[in-house]
Copies of this chain bind each other. A is one copy, B any other.
Amino acid sequence: MRPIVYDIAANAGVSLATVDRVLNGRPGVRAVTRARVEAAIQSLGYVRDMAAANLAKGRVYPLVFIVPGGENPFMRGLEAEVRAAVDRSAFERTRISIVNVPPFEPAALVAAIDAAITSGVAGIAAVAVDAPEVAEAIGRARAAGIALVTLVSDLATSGRDHFCGVDNVAAGRTAGSLMARFLGARPGPVAVLAGSMRVRDHRERLDGFRAVMAEAGGRRPVLDVLEGQDDPELAQALIAECLENNPDLAGIYSLGAGNGGLVAALAAAARDDLCVIAHELTAPTRAGLASGLIDAVLNQDAGHEVRSAIRILRAKADGLPVVEAQERIRIDIFIRENLPPESGVGPRPAGSDEH
């Protein structure tokens, strides 16, 4: 049988109250006694029953997720994952609320963060916009003792507790490497479609991609970046124009959103000979993979990111350490053959990580 607090008390020759004082770091225990109790904990291999502890504590963690609004399918998927987490939040003694803000607008994000601070939450997860006033708002949250993690897009200079997202430079490198291999000896330049150079994740992806292409020694020129503002229509127009102006184009790397427009432009131009790599497994990229217009999709698992953010916020709120290696988000590669079946985000079993 696994040991419980009574066993520690007996083993250490102290009372239950003293064990409780040691376990919960309460004052009023001599150093020698504390050592005896800790020795008993060690030798018995006691581990606190978190379920029972949480039950007894009755503590809940109010958390806020600040997610950009708009039609970006990845962000909508992210929000769906947060909603799924809300469904589980009862089990996890967490109360999660979702706040939508207009995308790419620092002022709105700042207002949302300040509102969360005022409402006295235990933690905030936000998709960061790269602006100094946002960094300042994050600083205020931290000063108020509120845990804060950045989600998907980071703001490293802000003093956030953690970044829940992928290594975007590595993602860009991965895209570049796949592009190079898929193209092989085929000549021709490659185009890059981004959302905006004002968001950090897009800039980092571009850096990684360019770095790999540069390693080819100029044999694979990268055209000037097309900024589609994550807007399908603008993206479609830009790609159509690019295809027209570059009949020798060999590939396209789409590192932001608006991929519905990309696919539409490719289909309209009947250019299925290009090597196309996009980001995030959403409805448009899925369709592109299925139809063969997109060759590979790099994905970050929004569900993982959300669950990781919640774990980290709770740990930080409790002052517990985070095992960084455990919270790393992988860069998934999807091609047509390993495309997972489409499935709505549903509630997951209580103890699941997840997968």
Does residue A226 face the partner (Cβ distance < 8 Å to B)? no
Could you tell me which residues of chain A, from 195 to 209, have a CB within 8 Å of some CB in chain B? none
> Residue A340 at the B interface, CB < 8 A?
yes
Contact A348 B325, CB 8 Å, known A177-B336, A184-B184: no
Q: A280 contacts the other chain (Cβ, under 8 Å)?
A: no
In the complex, A354 has a CB within 8 A of chain B: yes
Tell me the bound Cα distance from A173 to B339 in angstroms.
Answer: 11
Q: Is the CB of B181 within 8 A of A307?
A: no
Q: How large is the interface on A (under 10, 10 to 19, 20 to 34, 35 or more residues)?
A: 35 or more
| Interface 9-residue window, one of A10-18, A45-53, A126-134 | A45-53
Q: Which residue of B lies closest to A178 (CB)?
A: B335
Q: How far is the CA of A288 from the CA of B348 in the complex (A)?
A: 36
Most buried by B among A90, A182, A212, A307: A90
Listed stretches A19-27, A233-241, A326-334; interface member: A326-334
Of B325, B326, B337, the residue contacting A170 (CB under 8 A) is B337
Interface string of A39-61 (1 = CB under 8 A from B): 00000000101111011000000
Nearest CB of chain B from residue A331's CB, rounded to whole Å? 4
Q: Are B336 and A333 in contact (CB under 8 A)?
A: no
Chain B neighbourhood of A349, CB < 8 A: 311, 315, 323, 326
The residue of chain B having its C-beta at the shortest distance from the C-beta of A312 within the complex is B349
Q: Do A348 and B336 touch (CB < 8 A)?
A: no
Taking the complex as formed, is A154 at the interface, i.e. its CB lies under 8 A from any CB of chain B? no
B340 touching A328, Cβ below 8 Å: yes
Checking B2, B332, B337 against A332 with a beta-carbon cut-off of 8 angstroms, the contacting residue is B332
Q: Which residues of B lie under 8 Å from residue A348 when comparing CB positions?
A: 326, 353
Instruction: Flag whether A245 is at the interface (Cβ < 8 A).
Output: no
Q: How distant is the Cα of A315 from the Cα of B350 in the complex, in angstroms? A: 11
Cβ–Cβ contact B301 & A328, under 8 A: no
Flag if B355 contacts A343 (CB, 8 Å). Answer: no
Asked whether, in the complex, the Cβ of B354 is within 8 Å of the Cβ of A91, the reply is no
Cβ–Cβ contact B323 & A333, under 8 A: no
Tell me if A341 counts as interface (CB < 8 A to partner B).
yes
- A351 interfacial contact with B, CB 8 Å: yes
Shortest CB–CB separation between residue A167 and chain B, in angstroms? 9
Q: A230: CB under 8 A from chain B?
A: no
Q: Which of A291-311 contact B (CB under 8 A)?
A: 295, 298, 301, 304, 307-308, 311
Instruction: Look across to chain B and name the residue whose beta carbon is closest to the beta carbon of A91.
Output: B50
Contact of A185 among B2, B55, B184, B351 (CB under 8 A): B184
- Can you list 21 A-B pairs, Cβ within 8 angstroms, ordered by A? A47-B91, A51-B54, A91-B351, A170-B337, A174-B335, A174-B338, A177-B337, A181-B181, A182-B182, A185-B185, A304-B354, A307-B352, A307-B353, A315-B349, A323-B349, A326-B349, A328-B340, A333-B334, A352-B354, A353-B353, A353-B355
A30 CB within 8 Å of chain B: no
In whole angstroms, what is the CA distance A336 to B178 when docked? 10
Report the Cα distance A325→B340, complex, angstroms: 10
